Amino acid sequence: MNWGLDNMADIDLDDIERRMNGAIDALSREFAGLRAGRASTSLLEPLSVDAYGAQMPINQVGTIGVPEPRLLTVQVWDKGLVKSVEKSIRDSNLGLNPQSEGNLVRVPIPDLSEERRVELSKIAGKYAEQARVAVRNVRRDGMDQLKKSEKDNEISQDDHRLYSDEIQELTDAFVKKVDEALHTKESEILQV
């Protein structure tokens, strides 16, 4: 919403909304990795591998494939990185147990037990909380900008209050989106 305030060059509500959308996009990518019971390349894509002295995305050290509905493979390009790829997958809290054959790492996708569904649901909850925190951090940055602008006499107290309300409305809307996404993902995970 724009109140026609000419002196608000440094308070960019579109930027605040764009950054909050970024938190939702990141959450969607995290949730894509929580595939309930079926193999999907998006399950491994968020993982990083210790390679050449740095953390690299897994898809930059090998090709991820889905040869069967319950099996993922990673064709590692450099034989020296096979152990790092296995370690990354094993340490990912996804409950996967990779096995390597030469440069090929096989990752069987286990059936989801009730215990595993509850565990995935908790992981989804953690991702959602991280997204809520990201949205609130954007809100805090916006509020700090407002305080600074008012202190520097760039905006009035009334303008500060109006923009503050607008930022809070955005925050509430985005936290609601996070909660809805979590509810949808939990339903998908817990569905037998």
For residue 120, the domain's CATH number is: 1.10.132.20
Range of the domain at 48: 38-108
pLDDT band at 10 (very low <50, low <70, confident <90, very high): low
Q: Give me the number of domains the chain comprises.
A: 2
Same structural domain, 156 and 182: yes
What is the average per-residue pLDDT within 177-185? 93
- Average the pLDDT over each of 79-83, 138-142, 167-171, 179-183 and give the range with the smallest value: 79-83
Same structural domain, 102 and 119: no
- Of 73, 108, 143, the one marking the end of a domain is 108
Q: What one-letter code names the amino acid at 163? A: Y
- Of 74, 108, 142, the one marking the end of a domain is 108
H helix intervals, the chain: 13-32, 82-90, 114-151, 157-190
Residue 77 belongs to a domain: yes
Residue 7 belongs to a domain: no
What is the average per-residue pLDDT within 97-125? 86
Q: Is the pLDDT of residue 5 over 70?
A: no
| pTM: predicted TM-score of the whole model, two decimal places | 0.65
The residue among 117, 108, 32, 106 whose CA lies nearest residue 70 is 108
Same structural domain, 54 and 101: yes
CA distance 164 to 144: 10
